[in-house]
Amino acid sequence: MAATYPHPIPNNNLNVVQNPTGATINNLPNVNQLVGDVAQWMTDNLAEGNSWINITEPGRVLVLANAQTDNPYPGFAHAEVLNGTMLNADILRLHTTWLRDNEAWLKSQRSPKLKAADPKFAYGPNELLEENALPPDLGGSNNAFTDKVGKRIIINGHVDDGGILVHEYFHTFDPGDPSDVGWGFDEGIVDFFARDVAARFGYGYKGNAGYEGGYQTVKAIVDRIGLDKVCQFWFEREPSLFNPLSIKSKAVAEHCKPCAPSTVTLTMIDDFCQLAESLTGWKAPARTVAPVAKAAPSPAKKWPPVQPVGNVFRSHG
């Protein structure tokens, strides 16, 4: 089926909130709604796959801020969990259960410092929490991260309003690693999926400006071969389709690296599309699906924009 255009356009100016609260995370989707909408979108586009986490469980989506490294001991960091102050009944319910679970987990640790640690905070390796729970001028470098080991999605409350969850959730369907597709191309696919879901179901996610090169490449490919083929390539990775095409996608990825100007040419896109169209083994094209009428997207961020921080900030959502 054709993608649901127009897609949202990301803002190049990074908004930094020095002291975020739940109220500034005003585009975090309801997790149950997001799971259902993505499942519907996948069905419509002939995609089959599974997330490696259930984001409707407590603690799977954490919005963090104000990390302190080497706390409670060297190599460990703690960060404030903003989920408990959000104006979203579902998130608050999950947070109450997470608090109880986190307390039980801390008490079960061998370290006396962890046993006595405050359960209101999230704990983890310094590097991980510092990058994802601080503003760029204090060392934060990511707006969000899928923590495959910890089975959680971390959102940096200093630089994101929660909308990035639509994008991060797709990363949890990755059966391998972004390098299997090529990093910038992989991010372009994920951001295309996320913007398509946002446009169709009315989420506030606007797209990640750092991945615009990959997104525009994928958009041109979807316009040529259809979203259902791109979905089958990315979600299912059936070897007779994935192996030859991923050689091409990795080559194109060298020309659409994250946070860099795209040097992808029409010839490269043609090359990928011609190979895709020559391969057999694709499923039948999806039927046309009308857009679903849903609530309007959340209003724009309410905080004023600050000066962009340029290449200090590496967006890795």
Query: Which residues sit at the interface with Zn ion, rule CB under 5 A?
Result: 187, 190, 317
Alpha carbons within 13 angstroms on the beta-carbon side of residue 136 total 19
* Distance set, CA 270 to CA 118, 145, 248, 267, 273 (Å): 56, 32, 11, 5, 5
Residue number, 85 or 262, with CB nearest to Zn ion: 262
Q: 234-257: buried (b, 16+ CB within 10 Å) or exposed (e) per residue?
A: bbbbeeebbeebbebbbebbebbb
Count the Cβ atoms, other than its own, within 10 Å of residue 107: 12
CB of 288 to Zn ion, least distance (A): 29
Strands 76-81 and 121-125: antiparallel
Q: What share of the chain is helix, strand, coil (3-state, %, to 5)?
A: 45, 10, 45
CB of 73 to Zn ion, least distance (A): 31
Residue number, 191 or 228, with CB nearest to Zn ion: 191
Alpha carbons within 13 angstroms on the beta-carbon side of residue 66 total 9
The encoded tokens of residue 61 equal 């989506």
Identify whether the C-beta of residue 199 lies closer than 8 Å to the C-beta of residue 207: no
CB of 152 to Zn ion, least distance (A): 15
For the chain, how many residues are written?
317
CB of 71 to Zn ion, least distance (A): 28
Residue number, 133 or 190, with CB nearest to Zn ion: 190
CB of 251 to Zn ion, least distance (A): 20
Residue number, 34 or 106, with CB nearest to Zn ion: 34
Residue 247 three-state SS = helix
CB of 55 to Zn ion, least distance (A): 15
Residue number, 100 or 148, with CB nearest to Zn ion: 148
Identify whether the C-beta of residue 150 lies closer than 8 Å to the C-beta of residue 133: no
Give the distance from CA 212 to its chain's centroid: 14
Residue number, 122 or 190, with CB nearest to Zn ion: 190
Residue number, 4 or 146, with CB nearest to Zn ion: 146
Residue number, 17 or 190, with CB nearest to Zn ion: 190
Separation of alpha carbons 173 and 177, rounded Å: 10
CB of 293 to Zn ion, least distance (A): 28
CA dihedral 19, 162, 235, 6 (to 10 degrees): -130
